[in-house]
Chains A and B, each alone.
Chain A
Amino acid sequence: MTTPVLSIRNLVVDFPFHDEVFRAVNGVSFDIMPGEVVGVVGESGAGKSMTGSAVIGLIERPGRISSGEIRLKGERIDNLGEPEKARLRGKRIGMVFQDPLTSLNPLYTVGQQLTETIRAHLPLNEAEARQKAIDLLAEAGIPKAAERIDSYPHQFSGGMRQRVVIALAIAAEPELIIADEPTSALDVSVQAQIIKVLKKLCTNHGAAVMLITHDMGVIAQTADRLVVMHHGKVVETGTVGDIIRRPREPYTVKLIDSIPTIERREGQAAPPAANDDSAYVQVKNLVRDFELGRGSFTKLLPGKVEMFRAVSDVSFSIPKGQTFGLVGESGSGKSTCAKMIVGLVRPSSGHITVDGHDIWAGGAGHQERRKRVQMIFQDPYASLNPRWRVKDIVAEPMRTLGLARNKTEVEHRVAELLSKVRLDPSVMRKFPHEFSGGQRQRIAIARALSSQPEFIVCDEPTSALDVSVQAQVLDLMSELQSEFGLTYLLISHNLAVVRQMSTAVGVLHNGVLVERGPTDAIFDSPQADYTRMLLDAVPDISKVA
């Protein structure tokens, strides 16, 4: 029998916090065999990142390993002193962090950081180390590696930087790579490539991988075995196929069920006519330009103004009571579109009409917009004022618009709205920080409903939430839609969410609407290359099973 590369036994990590101790990792045990890719999944707070930090010996104070053992190729490493641990890092255990934008030192070139790492571990001179660095970059898929090696990190895109980070992690040929959410900060279209690069480099250099992620799709594509964590404990382990097909623990079942797929769901509404002039919401030839990089003072001076077109000639329409999904990656202009539609950013040109009123025409159009249009935001931590009580947050729209006559009526309506979003009305005296992410998003929905709108713009309403909570919020949104006859504009980078929710879809790329049509048509037979690329990039767990 071969020795596992990594063997964790009954690991416990504690965080003393004020007078209490928070147990982040509670008796975790698992093994990783040579050359194996083991996925560690769980929601935020499950203790998976902490397990990774414990292995590489980088738990931040005041956290500590209270008990248990960690063995690397049979040698115990959890009780080593700091200098010995430092010698393992990079040399025998490499690590890839989540955010490539912050993982690299901005003041040094990529080459300097690579050669520094290589020379710290391998007996090479400067020229040899540089050659190895170039080889590694080329292997990680950086084009023209010999030239790019002298570039600074900010001169690379996010995806390219993550390739550099992977090259750095593998530079000294470690036996184990810990990848902590290596793709979560990247765009969908880049994620798949990065996973491929990670897997390829680890195979080439014979490193085993501990892949920490909350994204079952990434795991399904990459991992051989799966460790499911929940509240600091391992709830289930097994091969990926086994767990996805036959999950035993209720938590695992919930985790798998809550993954939306881009496969067609049963019983969807018939696709609407594509661009109907009588549609409830109409967006016509919308354009928005931004000026680039000039201070307020220099703006007063004459000179060439560089313009950036964030949204370029976008048109679509939404019939009453239906959902239009607007898909695109970060920087595609979808959020700018949303801001123009709700009245936060003035369009450079083009028209938006809601129920026949041009909302940027001022006067009556402005009043109509305030009454009819509402928005649900991505981050429920930022969309609720932390200093306000829930009651005041939910009541703000009705107070501003004068929809309630007196205090009792306000209170009554708030209670009603809270029960509509499945929250106990008694929570109205609490502050937002007392709620979880999913509950906050419900409060945000209650606020949006409070002005009795007809049209709600939902900007990534679930992407800041844990997977198991996402499904509940989406279900709630669907129910409210049929109950109140709401019209939704759903903006998301998550194709699965869009497929599940919308009747028609538009695909936005660099500010241009590259494709538009009924949901099924777009998902089943995409016309634009970009759409096809997006769809291909989505990991599909049904293929594994």
Chain B
Amino acid sequence: MLAFIARRLLQSVIVMLVVAFIAFLVFRYVGDPLANLLSQDAKMTDYEEARERLGLNQPFYVQFFHFVVNALQGQFGVSYRLQQPVSQLILERLPATIELAVASSIIALVFGVFLGVYTALKQRAFSTGVIMTLSLIGVSLPTFLIGIGLIYVFAVELKWLPSFGRGEVVQIGWWRTGLLTQSGLRSLILPAITLSLFQLTLIMRLVRAEMMEVLRTDYIRFARARGLSQRAINFGHALKNTMVPVITITGLQLGSVIAFAIITETVFQWPGVGSLFVNSVAAVDVPVMAAYLVFVALVFVMINLVVDILYFIVDPRLRDGAKSGR
């Protein structure tokens, strides 16, 4: 078990280093870092002096090393566009994104798994046909259109919910939460639904496909031949086996919620890291882009790690496999 986790940790470090390297390349070679720091009428000597000061004359690997050391301390330089430290920008906006992502993940997970199991067990039911058709429409609907649609119906026409922003927020330490005020919660509803719909359909279709696959296996046939109750077969045997692959992919899907938030945050003008990133791309604000890349990679790596450990707990074959080294 420990060896397994150690191996996974090592892999995660490698992935992070690769991502950091890409981020470094972007940071160092996209655009001219000096052009954004110095004024238009800076002299050649100012350039030289700045190059020296920023270490741009040092060998490539030394610069990368410094980049990694700084990144470990959360230092990604100063945003060209907003002239503020990047780490501060991200930290300020992080709570908004995390609250949105967690809320929509819960929606996606609960409804996705429930509907997936339901449609797999009632394959011939009319309701299954309706759900499957709706899910295909869901996959074909771009997230931003869903957001616009919800805004039009619930904010413009019915005027039930706010159309943009986070509502009132409460400061708890450095965390600024919208979960404790009524207007904050109301503001969260539409963006959370918008963000969850795509993941929901994916999780549902995945659970359904896996469950149907499992229901066709020999051991389910054998379980039926042994006269176990339908309930015991569906929920004891089939569901548990379905969960093994579902855990992995669902975990990764939930990770991508953070990144999908980019679109939702733009539609609802939600003050999170996603909208910060979009604005930075449009303005070629390289330090923010690099930092965001590293940040998202970190989230993914951590989710991956949790998923691997979960997998390990659920599947006895893996536990033995790790022991014997196979």
Contact = CB atoms under 8 A, between A and B. Distances in A.
Interface in B304-326: 314-317, 320-321, 324-326
A102 B225 contact: no
Interface string B220-232: 0111111111101
Contacts of A120: 226-229, 232
B225 A152 contact: no
B240 interface: yes
Contacts of A165: 222
Interface in A169-209: 169, 171-172
Interface of B: 7, 11, 217-219, 221-230, 232, 236-237, 240-241, 244, 314-317, 320-321, 324-326
Nearest to A154: B317
A154 B320 contact: yes
B314 to A, nearest CB: 7
B325 A169 contact: no
5 contacts: A86-B224, A89-B225, A94-B226, A117-B227, A293-B324
Given A89-B227, A106-B241, A154 B221 contact: no
Secondary structure dominating the interface of B: helix
Contacts of B222: 95, 97, 103-104, 165, 168
A153 B320 CA distance: 12
A306 B314 CA distance: 27
B218 A88 contact: no
Interface in A151-169: 152, 154-155, 165, 168-169
Contacts of B229: 86, 120
B184 to A, nearest CB: 42
Given A117-B227, A121-B227, 20 more contacts: A86-B224, A87-B227, A89-B227, A90-B225, A90-B227, A91-B227, A95-B226, A97-B221, A103-B219, A105-B241, A106-B241, A107-B244, A107-B314, A107-B315, A116-B228, A120-B227, A120-B228, A168-B226, A169-B226, A297-B11
A111 to B, nearest CB: 13
A81 to B, nearest CB: 13
Contacts of B240: 107-108
A105 B325 contact: no
Interface in A105-129: 105-108, 116-117, 120-121
B218 A293 contact: no
A116 B232 CA distance: 9
B219 A102 contact: yes
A12 B317 CA distance: 42
A212 to B, nearest CB: 13
A56 interface: yes
A298 B316 CA distance: 23
Nearest to A102: B218
A404 interface: no
A117 B226 contact: yes
A102 B241 CA distance: 13
B11 to A, nearest CB: 8
